Amino acid sequence: MDSILRIADLVIAEDKWQREPKTFSNTIIPNDLIHNLVFFFCSPGSLLCLSRTCSSVHTMVQAYMQRVFKIERILSRFFTSPISFRRIQAETGTLISGSTILQFFDRSFYPKSDLDLYVSWISDYFMIADFLSKEGYKYVPRPGQHAVFNVAAGEDAFDRSDSAYGEVDEVLHVFTWKKYPEGRLEDPLRIQLIVSTDDPINVILGFHSSESGSSSIHYLGIALLL
């Protein structure tokens, strides 16, 4: 009797499948793994265009974007608690820019890339420095900077002559922090804390529209509070 019931269920399921309309979503790419493989080669613009073709594809694209466009995926490389950093990011108005955002939109990974954090001088950027210290990062002074962070933060603007930010007057300080992950003596994790006298978004746009910025980056992505 059980065998007969199982056969009946299979016949009903087969009949239902035969009667269902054969759409892009239930015949060509029926699972998330294939979605990931196919959509990986689409630019963000192409994904948006593709999502407008029909409701089924729209649902698939939206699900894919929710899976892969997560800034925490990149931040987890730098921080043991990305959520804690995001909380401080929101409190201080810190912006993320540079290669980190390129990786976010490209869905790629640059093994030796650093993390650029932009914050206004009127914000409590000492809170960020304290968080970095607790995460195991060490302040690495640039030539001419004081060896103690709290002292360096109170000094006049840094020497722009040897910096990529030399053409951006609104940059007050650039502090470098490094961390050597356990068991790795080369290629430390590197974070640059850029303190500005203007709104960070204006500084980011100003830097990437300058000669030094535009020559090294082909397009710009900005994360406000991703």
Residue-wise pLDDT for 116-157, tens only, equals 999 988 778 899 999 999 999 999 998 888 889 888 888 766
Residues 6+ apart with CB under 8 A from 84: 131
What's the pLDDT at 184? 67
What's the pLDDT at 143? 85
Spatial distance between the Cα atoms of 88 and 213, rounded to a whole number of angstroms = 27
Spatial distance between the Cα atoms of 64 and 40, rounded to a whole number of angstroms = 9
What's the pLDDT at 211? 46
Q: How many CB atoms lie within 10 A of CB 201?
A: 16
Q: What is the DSSP letter of 26?
A: I
What's the pLDDT at 115? 95
What's the pLDDT at 102? 86
Alpha helices in 93-196 (DSSP H): 99-106, 125-134, 149-153
What's the pLDDT at 3? 53
pTM: 0.73
In this prediction, the residues of the chain whose per-residue pLDDT falls under 70 are: 1-30, 156-169, 183-185, 207-226
Spatial distance between the Cα atoms of 70 and 226, rounded to a whole number of angstroms = 8
What's the pLDDT at 2? 52
